[in-house]
Amino acid sequence: MRAAVLGTGSWGTTFAAVLADAGCDVTLWGRSEEVCRAVREEHRNEAYLPGVELPARVTATTDGAAALRGARVVAVAVPAQSARMILAPLREHLEPDAVVVSLMKGVELSSDRRMSEVLQEVLGVPAARVAVVSGPNLAREIAERHPTATVVASSDPDTARLVAAACASPSFRPYTNADVVGVELCGAVKNVIALAVGIAQGQGYGHNTTATIITRGLVEITRLGLALGAEAETFAGLAGMGDLVATCASPLSRNHSLGVQIGRGLTLDRALAATRGTAEGVKSSTSVLELARTVGVDMPITEAVVEVLAGRLPVEEMAAALLARPHRAEGVEGAHEPLPRPLAEPAV
């Protein structure tokens, strides 16, 4: 099967290798002629995956029409906030029967749309031909063939099965799932929770704090997902708990690392400059919070991250603000308990 991967960053390049390991002939599409030449001729992408040799079945081009010609599976791994702009010119080159796969973990800021929704709109493909791949999938480990599982979600079981077959390799095991909303929200919101964990660790807090944020973060993700029609069991699975554990534990996570820098007192601009690659949670925290407000769901950790990143809540007051909320029962359903306002006012 021929496949295309749009985006030559760390995940796009790694997923191209996964597809090739599974037997696909893969063309990466990117904007840098130098990166594409190195993938084609040296089987390397040193900027994003230093020291990794790519399979011979992976080639690369800056020509979108050439990349998409004959591609039955088209996977997209560009920054979520730029996806609409990047993909619009490629629409005319998509094969009529192509299945489009979102590898992205974000929510569009201008529209609060999930990335599968953005793909449907901008590429003109129906939901039945769109899939989402999400799970504990740190690119570098997968590029090194560490054993990993993931979730392939689509509203159409045949589409999910096709994509799962296209990426199943001896070290990469896909599970199919019909819950696109749940799987996609897990991927986007865990980045926000990873920022919160990083912030806490940067402040010097230990494992109890980390476990508290991961667990209550999962409650937030679940609450939002259920309000938007997701299935409860998705959140305990690979895309939910699985990805939270990987991202919140690993220094390979850009969101986690950026959070640590913020927790140590760096400004957002400096923390971004110190972080290599795309930390989707920075912008998606705002769109996730907007989405939550549209359905009346309480997401205090997400709200605290938004406030800290915007400079309205001093980072050293974040934990106190969260702990000062009224006490409540532990379950997923719950009253709206916003952060105490005086602590969330603009810092002077």
Ligand X SMILES: O=C(CO)COP(=O)(O)O
Which structure tokens are listed for 40? 């084609």
Tokens in use for 45?
């992408």
Q: Which residues bind ligand X (CB under 6 A)?
A: 105, 136-138, 191, 194, 243, 246-247, 253-256, 280
> Given the complex with ligand X, which of 59 and 137 has the nearer CB atom?
137
Task: Using CB under 6 A, pick the residue from 37, 63, 82, 111 that binds ligand NAI.
Answer: 82
Q: Using the 8-state DSSP alphabet, how is residue 150 labeled?
A: E
How many of the chain's residues bind ligand NAI (CB under 6 A)? 25
Nearer to ligand X, 2 or 254 (CB): 254
CB of residue 281 to ligand X, shortest distance in Å: 7
Q: Which is nearer to ligand NAI, 187 or 202 (CB)?
A: 187
Alpha-carbon torsion angle 218, 182, 107, 223, nearest 10: -40
Which member of 190, 223, 256, 283 is catalytic?
Answer: 190
Cβ neighbors of 147 (< 8 A, separation 6 or more) are 171, 173
Residue 190 annotated as catalytic: yes
Shortest CA distance to 191 belongs to which of 270, 120, 277? Answer: 277
Tokens for 112? 């609060």
Query: Does residue 86 bind ligand NAI (CB under 6 A)?
Result: yes
- Nearest to ligand X of 201, 255 (CB atom): 255
Smallest distance, Å, CB 198 to ligand X?
9
Q: Which does 247 bind (CB under 5 to 8 A by kind): ligand X, ligand NAI, none?
A: ligand X
- Residue 172 in the binding site for ligand NAI (CB under 6 A): no
* Closest approach of ligand X to the CB of residue 202, in Å: 15
The verdict on whether residue 166 carries a ligand-binding annotation is no
Residue 280 assigned as binding residue: yes
Among 68, 78, 244, 292, binds ligand NAI (CB under 6 A): 78
Q: What whole-number distance in Å separates Cα of residue 288 and Cα of residue 109?
A: 9
Q: Would you say 254 is a known binding-site residue? A: yes
Among ligand X, ligand NAI, none, residue 94 binds (CB under 5-8 Å by kind): none
Q: Is 205 annotated as a binding residue?
A: no
Instruction: Please give the structure tokens belonging to residue 249.
Output: 């534990």
In whole angstroms, give the CA distance from residue 17 to residue 25: 10
Q: Is 11 annotated as a binding residue?
A: yes
Q: Is the dihedral of CA 275, 277, 282, 283 positive or negative?
A: positive
Alpha helices of the chain — where are they, by DSSP H? 10-21, 33-42, 64-68, 83-87, 115-123, 139-143, 157-167, 180-202, 207-227, 243-249, 254-263, 268-273, 281-294, 300-309, 318-323, 341-344
Question: Which residue positions form the known binding site for substrate?
Answer: 105, 254-255
Catalytic residues: 190
